[in-house]
Homo-oligomer: A and B are copies of this chain.
């Protein structure tokens, strides 16, 4: 199964003609999951190879405008790009994000008379008080749901921290389990861990034939992990006839942060194939970065090292850093310097570093 990540915006604070505001898409076999949706994301989508109508789930790391202001417009445009077959009931678009997101969408879609042809549900993550300074926490008055729900709004869940695993279980299906974990920022922020399930190895068909088993339903039972008893009474165990399992891939995407919170982040991100981490400013501006709730390449590298990620991808760069393609000799703020800083911090770790750029697509290959 193919899997890749496409960056639609890699700039911090606001969108510019050089860098879109935060947004990236994880794509697996035609389904697209959108992580963050800054203003202009729909236009960036149109410029990319991706199709807006394929977006089935949305994840919002935190409520800052540079990660959210594009969402109402994006939903409207997805709706315009969805073929409406009246015979067919359209799937619900699931939207995950911090408490307050449901009311944000209700008001923005409602007051603008925005019509959607599909239902949507907002599943809210309940932050804890140690994810931001006190002034960054929303009062109950602010997030209280008020006014009529949008005609397409379906009831959403409220997801609280599971203290034993220090994480939030967003959903699990046949292919994936997706969890969130806590980050520290000026306002509560989250990271997301997309874990593909391991898949059974291929059947050793030569061996099965030798054992006298012909292709048929019993093959399926073995592949599903069930033992099979032959007419002779001989029992075949799946482990005897299956090649090694194909390990699931793991992609972890962190929202804005100056640090992780609790044990959850490192446990969940352990061994990530791709760890996407912000690096808003260079190491030499660490104090300023931390003051604003952000990270430097060195700080991002420390997280990647602590969780033994295979690849660290940096994004969410200050707009002062032009994309490499527009960089001129002698420009002061050179984004490739951010890559060098992370590489310096990861010497001898074997962890590779990639700089994200708008429209960069990174494949997430199978491990073997």
Q: Decide if A73 touches B39 in the complex (CB within 8 Å).
A: yes
Q: In this complex, what residue of B is CB-closest to A186?
A: B113
A14: Cβ under 8 A from any B Cβ: yes
Q: Decide if B142 touches A69 in the complex (CB within 8 Å).
A: no
Q: Decide if B136 touches A141 in the complex (CB within 8 Å).
A: no
> Interface 1/0s, chain A 64-101, versus B by CB < 8 A?
11101110110011001000000000000000000011
Q: Decide if A65 touches B76 in the complex (CB within 8 Å).
A: yes
Chain A 118-144 residues near chain B, CB threshold 8 A: 136, 138-139, 141-144
8 contacts between A and B (CB under 8 A): A15-B42, A15-B73, A16-B46, A65-B76, A104-B108, A108-B108, A113-B186, A144-B146
Count of A interface residues, CB-CB < 8 Å: 46
Q: Decide if B148 touches A147 in the complex (CB within 8 Å).
A: no
Chain A 9-55 residues near chain B, CB threshold 8 A: 13-17, 39-40, 42-43, 46-47
Q: In this complex, what residue of B is CB-closest to A115?
A: B186
B residues near A43, Cβ cutoff 8 Å: 15-17, 39-40
B residues near A110, Cβ cutoff 8 Å: 142
Q: Decide if B112 touches A69 in the complex (CB within 8 Å).
A: yes
Q: Decide if A142 touches B39 in the complex (CB within 8 Å).
A: no
- How far is A70 from B68 in the complex, measured between Cα atoms in Å? 12
A114: Cβ under 8 A from any B Cβ: yes
A40, A64, A76, A104: which has the most chain B beta carbons within 10 Å?
A: A40
A17, A110, A111, A146: which has the most chain B beta carbons within 10 Å?
A: A111
Q: In this complex, what residue of B is CB-closest to A106?
A: B107
- How far is A353 from B15 in the complex, measured between Cα atoms in Å? 34
Cβ-neighbour of A148 out of B104, B112, B141 (below 8 A) = B141
Shortest beta-carbon distance from A295 to chain B in Å: 19
Q: A63-B111, A113-B187 are in contact. Are A17 and B39 (CB under 8 A)?
A: no
Q: Decide if A136 touches B108 in the complex (CB within 8 Å).
A: no
- How far is A147 from B42 in the complex, measured between Cα atoms in Å? 30
Q: Decide if B136 touches A113 in the complex (CB within 8 Å).
A: yes
Q: Decide if B63 touches A69 in the complex (CB within 8 Å).
A: no
A14, A42, A103, A186: which has the most chain B beta carbons within 10 Å?
A: A14
Q: In this complex, what residue of B is CB-closest to A70?
A: B39
